[in-house]
Structures are given as structure tokens and as C-alpha cells.
Amino acid sequence: MAGALVDTHCHLDYPPLSDDVAAVLQRAAAAGVQQCVTIGTSLERSRANIILAQRFPQQLRAAIGIHPNDCAETTAADLATLEQWAAQPGVVAIGEVGLDQYRQTVPLEKQQAVLQGCLAIARRCHLPVLLHCRQAHAPLLEALRHIAGAWQGIIHCASGPAEFIQEALALGLHISFAGNVTFPNAKALHALVPLVPDERLLLETDAPFLAPQPVRGQQNEPAFVTHTAAWVANLRGATVEHVARVTTRNACALLRLPAVMPGA
């Protein structure tokens, strides 16, 4: 085993993972994945994830947010509710929020308005923000620059031109790589991995989506973050033990997770 790992981004409220979260977390622990963060994509799903985090306080924390593809009907009252829930035990971040011009289910202006609301909540609540960005790199940077000061948070499922990653790092953000970094033809993604300094590097599954290469086509789950760790280590010319150590340290500090047992 490579050392303790953290899955900083999974969706355990989605089936089939939601059918037996205890078993999913057991398999994660057996693979060395000691902590997971389960991520809300709507108000309803955020509540479900808070309940899950409170059920499994040893191993699970929650993030609450409204995904850009799910924000068509979001109201100011919804954002007020989200802000109230930010104080619930087990909530460690606001997310996922962001911009998505790939699916185009919601007009960009609406996505931007909801994102600004969520960024303001993250600031007021002193919580890191978990950012989803798909084919919307320039407008996302613009939204972040709109609120002055450095950002605490994560670009999840990293993608985009190198300049985007460099700008995000300059704004203070961490960069998290998901299972798609293990796809052999994802050359542009591979090129991003060495750009991120050890201090800002994180790993995730985005389960049940995006299963990494050796298990591609299967349902993804937090235990499989081990495959992503191995690929990221390879792309950085580092050992998997080193990548496990730095990413786990970063995740625990940024997301205020319980201390993990090193080498467990």
C-alpha cells in the first residue's frame, strides 16, 4: 500500500454508491483511502451528503453546493438555505459550484449569478470553495478575480490550458486530478500534472463517474483513487508514497479533515 490517501471529491449520494455507503467506505479504508469528501450538486443532494457525513464521521465529510448544470431554478432563498447549512457538523467546503459550457443546460449568465452567490457564501463562512470548470476557463477566472484577495479552494477534475492552471495557482487555489488523468490518450491533461507544486496537489475520484484506466468502464468509487495516485506519481517522476504523503497532508489542512495515520 502506498500510504494514506484522501478522495477529495466523490458523490456518495449517487447510486449505486448510495445503496451501501458503509461498504464503499470499508473498501476505501482497505485500499488506504482514509478520508473522503462527498460533494453536493444541488440543494437536495447537499442535504443528503450532510446526513451521510454525520453518519460516518470517522471517514467522511461533506461539501455543499449547486452544480452549474443544476442551477437553472436556483433562487436567493436556496442560497440562503445553503449558507445556513454551511454551519452543520461535517460540512467542510462550499461546492461543487462553477461554470460549465460543455453541457449548456443552463445559460451562462444564470450560472455566473449562482457562482457569485456561492463564492460570497464561501468567503463569509470562511470555507474553501470546490470549483467545477468545463470549457469555461476564462469566465471562471473572471468570476474569481471579481472578488479580491487570494482564494482557498480546489479546481476539481483539473483540465484546461496550462495558463488556466497557472492562473488558478496564482489565485491561491489547489489543483485536483481525477480518474481521467489516467486515460492514455489524455496527453493535454498529462502535461498539466507537473505544473502543480507539491503544496497544491490533490487527488479525487469524482465517483461514481470517471473510473480510472485499470477499471475504466466500471462504476468508480473512492478506493480507486489509488490508481490515480499511481499515474500522477508517474507523470511527476515521483514515488507514489511521496504523492500520497503530500496530497493527504494538503487535503487534511485545506479541508480540516481528521488527522490520518501516516503509512497506514
Phi, psi angle pair for 149, to nearest 5°: 100, 170
Kindly state the cell numbers that stand for 7: 478522495
Q: Interface with Zn ion by CB under 5 A: which range of 104-112, 127-135, 178-186, 213-221?
A: 127-135
Of residues 47 and 132, the one with the C-beta less far from Zn ion: 132
**What's the closest the beta carbon of residue 132 comes to Zn ion, in angstroms?**
3
Of residues 12 and 240, the one with the C-beta less far from Zn ion: 12
Of residues 70 and 206, the one with the C-beta less far from Zn ion: 206
**What's the closest the beta carbon of residue 39 comes to Zn ion, in angstroms?**
5
Of residues 223 and 240, the one with the C-beta less far from Zn ion: 223
Residue nearest to Zn ion (CB): 132
**What's the closest the beta carbon of residue 255 comes to Zn ion, in angstroms?**
15
Of residues 151 and 245, the one with the C-beta less far from Zn ion: 151
Q: Where are the beta strands (DSSP E) in the chain?
A: 5-10, 33-39, 60-64, 91-100, 129-134, 153-155, 174-177, 201-203
**What's the closest the beta carbon of residue 227 comes to Zn ion, in angstroms?**
17
3-class DSSP state of 67:
coil
3-class DSSP state of 243:
helix
How many helices (DSSP H) and strands (DSSP E) are in the chain?
A: 9, 8
State yes or no: residue 132 binds Zn ion (CB under 5 A): yes
State yes or no: residue 137 binds Zn ion (CB under 5 A): no
Say how far residue 210 (Cα) sits from the centre of its chain: 13
DSSP run (H or E) holding 217:
none
Of residues 60 and 240, the one with the C-beta less far from Zn ion: 60
Phi, psi angle pair for 144, to nearest 5°: -70, -35
Distances (CA, A) of 188 to 115, 206, 214: 27, 19, 20
**What's the closest the beta carbon of residue 23 comes to Zn ion, in angstroms?**
21
Of residues 2 and 12, the one with the C-beta less far from Zn ion: 12
State yes or no: residue 45 binds Zn ion (CB under 5 A): no
Cα distance between residue 127 and residue 5, in whole Å: 22
Q: Which of residues 69-98 bind Zn ion (CB under 5 A)?
A: none
**What's the closest the beta carbon of residue 260 comes to Zn ion, in angstroms?**
22
Residue with cell 468509487: 221
Cα distance between residue 161 and residue 103, in whole Å: 19
Number of residues located near Zn ion, criterion CB under 5 A: 2
Q: Which of residues 173-232 bind Zn ion (CB under 5 A)?
A: 206
Residues within the interface to Zn ion (CB under 5 A):
132, 206
